[in-house]
């Protein structure tokens, strides 16, 4: 008798009521198992599935954060340099005109660009009348000297005769007075001759100082007088200067002796000079003053020309940022920094001098912040970003 036959025999032995009860118990067990499985699946979906979803959402949000390049600028000590423009001029501009009576110009001995010595004749004026006056005055001196000699001889003879009683003491006194009067006339004539010669010498237009001729405004044949104005302009000693226009704050930062580098317009040549004078007044309209930079003579420095100047005005310690990191709006200059929670924050700053490395920040940063280097215009305050630290920034890369 096999197993199946045994089971069938047992079932056949059960009563119908007991068979139904057994069947119902089996169904309840199956149903309970199904419900338990469904409950476990629902719990897994509710708890495990939602946590995974939240993690995925957080990861997705983090992956969508904008990556920005930041830089920690630190602080550097840089030489402060003030840029300005101005006009080239003679340090001591000497005008030369007619000193004497004037007249017709006979010769001009110098031209623009010539060097002259003090007292050198620049131009001569016709003097034929003055020459004749000198000749006549010399003749008057000779006549006065002859009268003096005659009076002296008569006085000498009278002195010999007065001791013998032939001539009275009164006659001697008169002859003495005549001799003295003749001597005085000689002195007057000689003084008049010196005056004539001095007036004639003033017909030569001479250089009052040694220097460099900048302008020549006279030609032979021209009639000149004291009202003719400036005939020559010269730079005393050839010394030149740049008259740099600067604002009040910039002037306050300068002092006499500060070095400067001047570059004339249209040339790459640079000339080194120093500030020798700072104007004591400010122009009321432009609110600017003049700092005078002394320069050595050079043909490339042409008075009246335009030039730029870089003035060294000490040193400052500040954070330096490339231009790409600095934003501007109606409230002024600002930068974006990334805080410890990787959120973007606006920071107002005040810019200072411009260097080859970038722009100095005089106020607003201590140099330890993480400053957004690029794409600041696409960020918003409190935006979460992924910062990427730049090791170094070349000046050309930041432009």
pLDDT digits (tens, 9 = 90+) for 47-57: 444 444 444 44
Give pLDDT tens digits for 227-258: 889 999 999 999 999 999 998 888 888 889 98
87-110: average pLDDT: 92
Percent of the chain clearing pLDDT 70 (strictly above):
82
Highest mean pLDDT among 19-28, 79-88, 255-264, 344-353: 255-264
Give pLDDT tens digits for 259-294: 999 999 988 899 999 999 998 889 888 889 999 999
- Please indicate, yes or no, whether residues 31 and 73 belong to a single structural domain of this protein: no
Q: What is the DSSP letter of 398?
A: T
Listed residues 279, 297, 315: the one ending a domain:
315
Look up residue 55 and give its two tokens. Answer: 């993690």
- Please indicate, yes or no, whether residues 102 and 225 belong to a single structural domain of this protein: yes
- Please indicate, yes or no, whether residues 111 and 211 belong to a single structural domain of this protein: yes
Q: Residue 17: its pLDDT value, please?
A: 53
- Please indicate, yes or no, whether residues 118 and 131 belong to a single structural domain of this protein: no
Q: Residue 156: its pLDDT value, please?
A: 84
Q: Could you give the number of structural domains in the chain?
A: 5
Q: Residue 305: its pLDDT value, please?
A: 92
Q: Residue 23: its pLDDT value, please?
A: 63
Q: Residue 384: its pLDDT value, please?
A: 87
- Please indicate, yes or no, whether residues 277 and 307 belong to a single structural domain of this protein: yes
Domain membership of residue 399 (yes or no) is: no
* pLDDT at 198 exceeding the cut of 70: yes
- Please indicate, yes or no, whether residues 324 and 298 belong to a single structural domain of this protein: no
Range with the poorest average pLDDT among 112-121, 166-175, 255-264, 302-311? 166-175
Strands 211-216 and 93-96: unpaired
137-152: average pLDDT: 90
CATH code of 359's domain: 2.40.420.20
* pLDDT at 366 exceeding the cut of 80: yes
* Neighbouring residues of 134: CB distance < 8 A, sequence distance ≥ 6: 193, 196, 197, 200
**Distance of alpha carbon 295 from alpha carbon 92, whole angstroms:** 12
- Please indicate, yes or no, whether residues 100 and 230 belong to a single structural domain of this protein: yes
CB 197 within 8 A of CB 130: no
* pLDDT at 206 exceeding the cut of 90: yes
Look up residue 8 and give its two tokens. Answer: 């069938």
Residue numbers of the domain that contains 306: 84-90+235-315
- Please indicate, yes or no, whether residues 370 and 344 belong to a single structural domain of this protein: yes
* pLDDT at 333 exceeding the cut of 50: yes
Residue 12 binned pLDDT confidence (cut-offs 50, 70, 90): very low
Domain membership of residue 132 (yes or no) is: yes
Domain membership of residue 395 (yes or no) is: no
Domain membership of residue 397 (yes or no) is: no
pTM across the whole model: 0.57
- Please indicate, yes or no, whether residues 384 and 326 belong to a single structural domain of this protein: yes
Highest mean pLDDT among 33-42, 113-122, 162-171, 382-391: 113-122
Q: Is 215 exposed, middle or buried (0-12, 13-18, 19+ CB in 10 A)?
A: middle
- Please indicate, yes or no, whether residues 139 and 185 belong to a single structural domain of this protein: yes
**3-state class (DSSP) for residue 325:** helix
Q: Give the closest residue to 217 by CA, choosing from 98, 363, 84.
A: 98
CB 373 within 8 A of CB 324: yes
Q: Specify the long-range contacts of residues 269-275, CB closer than 8 Å, at least 24 apart.
A: 269/298, 269/300, 271/295, 271/296, 271/298, 271/300, 271/301, 273/241, 273/242, 275/311
Q: Hey, how many other C-beta atoms are within 10 angstroms of the C-beta on 2?
A: 7
Residue 42 binned pLDDT confidence (cut-offs 50, 70, 90): low
Domain membership of residue 107 (yes or no) is: yes
- Please indicate, yes or no, whether residues 285 and 340 belong to a single structural domain of this protein: no
**Distance of alpha carbon 159 from alpha carbon 149, whole angstroms:** 15
Domain membership of residue 396 (yes or no) is: no
Helices and strands counted in the chain (H then E)? 6, 22
Q: Where are the beta strands (DSSP E) in 248-375?
A: 259-264, 271-278, 288-295, 306-321, 327-329, 332-338, 344-348, 350-354, 359-363, 371-372
Domain membership of residue 218 (yes or no) is: yes
CATH code of 183's domain: 1.10.287.470
Domain membership of residue 398 (yes or no) is: no
Q: How far is CA 226 from the centre of its chain?
A: 41
Distances (CA, A) of 366 to 109, 325, 391: 67, 15, 18
Distances (CA, A) of 364 to 42, 318, 327, 352, 387: 57, 10, 13, 11, 21
Q: Residue 169: its pLDDT value, please?
A: 82
161-167: average pLDDT: 74
Residues 246, 247, 249: CA angle, nearest 5 degrees: 120
- Please indicate, yes or no, whether residues 106 and 225 belong to a single structural domain of this protein: yes
CATH code of 308's domain: 2.40.30.170
* Neighbouring residues of 220: CB distance < 8 A, sequence distance ≥ 6: 105, 106, 107, 108
Instruction: Name the average pLDDT for the chain.
Output: 82
Q: Residue 39: its pLDDT value, please?
A: 66
**Distance of alpha carbon 82 from alpha carbon 311, whole angstroms:** 5
**Distance of alpha carbon 232 from alpha carbon 97, whole angstroms:** 7
359-372: average pLDDT: 86
Q: Name the percent of the chain in helix, strand, coil, to the closest 5.
A: 35, 35, 30
């Amino acid at each position: 008798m096999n197993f199946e036959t045994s089971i069938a025999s047992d079932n056949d032995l059960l009563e119908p009521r007991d068979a139904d009860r057994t069947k119902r118990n089996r169904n309840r067990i199956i149903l309970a198992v199904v419900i338990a499985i469904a409950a476990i699946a629902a719990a897994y979906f509710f708890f495990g599935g939602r946590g995974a979803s939240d993690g995925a959402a957080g990861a997705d949000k983090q992956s969508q954060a904008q990556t920005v390049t930041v830089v920690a600028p630190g602080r550097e000590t840089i030489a402060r340099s003030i840029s300005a423009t101005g006009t080239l001029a003679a340090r001591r501009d000497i005008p030369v005109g007619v000193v004497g009576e004037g007249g017709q110009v006979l010769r001009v001995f110098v031209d623009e660009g010539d060097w002259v010595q003090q007292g050198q004749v620049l131009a001569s004026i016709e003097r034929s009348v003055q020459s004749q006056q000198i000749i006549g005055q010399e003749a008057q001196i000779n006549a006065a000297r002859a009268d003096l000699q005659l009076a002296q001889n008569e006085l000498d003879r009278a002195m010999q005769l007065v001791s013998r009683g032939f001539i009275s003491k009164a006659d001697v006194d008169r002859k003495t007075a005549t001799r003295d009067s003749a001597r005085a006339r000689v002195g007057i004539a000689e003084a008049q001759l010196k005056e004539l010669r001095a007036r004639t010498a003033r017909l030569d237009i001479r250089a009052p100082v040694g220097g460099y001729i900048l302008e020549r405004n006279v030609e032979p044949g021209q009639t000149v007088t004291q009202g003719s104005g400036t005939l020559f302009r010269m730079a005393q000693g050839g010394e030149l200067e740049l008259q740099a226009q600067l604002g009040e704050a910039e002037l306050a930062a300068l002092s006499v002796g500060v070095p400067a580098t001047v570059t004339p317009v249209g040339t790459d040549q640079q000339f080194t000079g120093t500030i020798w004078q700072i104007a004591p007044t400010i122009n009321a309209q432009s609110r600017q003053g003049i700092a005078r930079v002394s320069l050595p003579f050079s043909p490339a420095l042409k008075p009246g020309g335009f030039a730029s100047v870089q003035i060294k005005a000490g040193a400052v310690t500040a954070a330096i940022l490339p231009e790409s990191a600095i934003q501007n709006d109606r409230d002024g200059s600002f930068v974006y920094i990334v805080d410890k929670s990787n959120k973007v924050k606006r920071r107002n700053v005040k810019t200072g001098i411009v260097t080859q490395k970038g722009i100095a920040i005089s106020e607003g940063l201590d140099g330890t912040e993480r400053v957004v280097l690029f794409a600041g215009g696409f960020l918003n305050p409190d935006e979460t970003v992924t910062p990427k630290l730049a090791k170094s920034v070349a000046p050309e890369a930041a432009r």
